[in-house]
A and B are shown apart, each in its own frame.
Chain A
Amino acid sequence: MKLPRGRLRRSRVVTEPRDVLADVLDRGLTGYAVFESQETLLLDAEGRGVVTFADGVPVLAYHTGTDRGGPPALADLAVPGPYHVSLYALDAADLEPAHRADDLRVPPGMPAERLAGDPALADSTRRAAPADRRDAVERGGSTDDAGDAQSAVEAFLDDTEKIEAIKDQARAEARERAAEWEF
């Protein structure tokens, strides 16, 4: 995915991707967000996730480390935080060529639902989406049911290596804290 460089609006470290998605929706940002996990253990050196937005509503998802787009990119992005996130604004016209890539598209509410685990935010995002994209969500949902499309959650669950890394990290943390907490 090629995007023209946007105007940096915000750059910060967050623990929850939810905060970023909610912030973008509130601002009605047109542009993109770059997510970079601070947990290098779980990521390739090149691993950055990019989500583009039109008026605050997610359009595309892409992961530079895995070169996957659409729902699977959301799974690639879903590593434990904190993340370093940069938000860039772009004119709609500059995003338009990239937004023609149908294979990178995600339903409007999917990042909030699958990445942030927040159905309420997903609902407000869907409400903010243009009518033609709201319809697309429903089609996306039924495609999902039919098993034609691999959902972001399933793609996440198929990534055994990443899940084992999350488990290893949690075990190490639990052992370390047992000493600290005098269990």
Chain B
Amino acid sequence: MVEVFAVASGKGGTGKTTSTVALGMALSERYDVTVVDADTGMANLLFHAGLSDAETTLHDVLADDAPVEAATYDRFGMTVVPCGTSLDGFRDADPDRLREVVATLAAGTDVILLDSPPALDSRTAVLPVVLADRIVVVLQPTIPAISDGLKVQEYATTYDTGVAGLLFNKVRESESIDRVAEKTERYFDGPTLAAVPESERAREARRAGRPLLAHAPDCAAAAAYRRAADALTVREGSPGDAADRFRSAVVPEQL
């Protein structure tokens, strides 16, 4: 089985990469998980997963200079496909090859998480959302973040991608998150998976180049990510179906 999730937000700064890695680690207790840095223009997954010295990255694969296998690394119980940070790498990468990369990875894993660009302004930025089966929307309880999250959802559903759920992140105590989450859910097609408190531990983890769940597994934020992973029901699908789907044009014909 394989299900592909795009972890998405309309804006940067919501803690999307921290969330992708944390969800990945939490899900890896039950599933074989592959995490891909699909934010090819502003890669930072490598810094979160202790892979800043990775020699071969998704950029090389997208430039057709390396096979996918050369850019996969086993870290913290997951398979991680980092992206490089050089501008040259970004320039030479052909985003359309991401489709093929996902298809190849789909054959050997249960869950693929695509850390997606925090924007909707280009084909490259939207592609991961198009490729995914469902999105996980990372939100802060602020008007701009919710409003951008709504836009991501509408793009996703227009392109026939479902909504797996909402993840509120960097939540402060003073924010009445239960009420905000309840009201927010009315406009989204998926439930709230968890509300993750703002956490100094998450910043420390990022500085240490380790996932939050490895750095501070007992903190409140880590517990919230585990709850989110538990709330996420991974759907059955066969790798063959997925591979075919990704290799063909994925967008419904009515568009």
Contacts and interface: CB of A to CB of B under 8 A. Distances in A.
Q: Which of B11, B141, B143 has the most CB of A within 10 A?
A: B143
A114 B146 CA distance: 10
Contacts of B175: 144, 151, 153
A163 B150 contact: yes
B150 A166 contact: yes
A78 B130 contact: no
B141 A144 contact: no
B123 A166 contact: no
Interface in A157-180: 157-158, 163, 166-167, 170-171, 173-175, 177-179
Q: Which of A75, A119, A183 is packed against the most chain B CB atoms within 10 Å?
A: A183
Interface of A: 17, 74-75, 78, 80, 113-119, 141-142, 144-145, 147, 151-154, 156-158, 163, 166-167, 170-171, 173-175, 177-179, 181, 183
Interface string B122-161: 0100100010000000001111111100110111011100
B174 A170 contact: no
Contacts of A167: 150-151, 153-154, 187
Given A166-B151, A174-B155, A145 B176 contact: yes
A147 B176 contact: yes
B159 A157 contact: no
B158 A178 contact: yes
Contact of A117 (B144, B153, B179, B183): B144
Given A80-B147, A114-B143, A117-B143, A157 B180 contact: yes
22 contacts: A117-B13, A117-B142, A119-B170, A142-B174, A144-B174, A145-B174, A145-B176, A153-B141, A153-B142, A154-B179, A156-B146, A157-B180, A157-B184, A166-B151, A171-B158, A174-B155, A174-B158, A177-B126, A178-B251, A181-B126, A183-B126, A183-B130
A156 B143 contact: yes
Nearest to B151: A170
Nearest to A141: B174
Interface centre among B147, B249, B250 (most CB of A within 10 A): B147
Most buried by A among B144, B145, B255: B144
Interface string B198-217: 10000000000000000000
Given A141-B174, A145-B174, A183-B251, 5 more contacts: A116-B144, A117-B13, A144-B174, A158-B183, A178-B159
A42 to B, nearest CB: 10
3 A-B pairs closest in CB distance:
A170-B154, A141-B174, A157-B183
A118 B158 CA distance: 29
A78 B143 CA distance: 7
Contact of B180 (A142, A154, A170, A173): A154
Given A144-B174, A163-B187, A183 B255 contact: yes
A48 to B, nearest CB: 17
B150 A170 contact: yes
Contacts of A175: 158, 255
A167 B186 CA distance: 13
Contacts of A154: 176, 179-180, 183
B146 A179 contact: no
Given A75-B143, A78-B147, A171-B158, A181 B123 contact: yes
Given A166-B151, A171-B154, A183-B130, A117 B140 contact: yes
Contacts of A117: 11, 13, 140, 142-145
Contacts of B153: 167, 170
A78 to B, nearest CB: 4
A156 B184 CA distance: 10
A147 B178 CA distance: 11
- Which of B13, B141, B250 has the most chain A CB atoms closer than 10 A to its own CB? B141
A74 B143 CA distance: 9
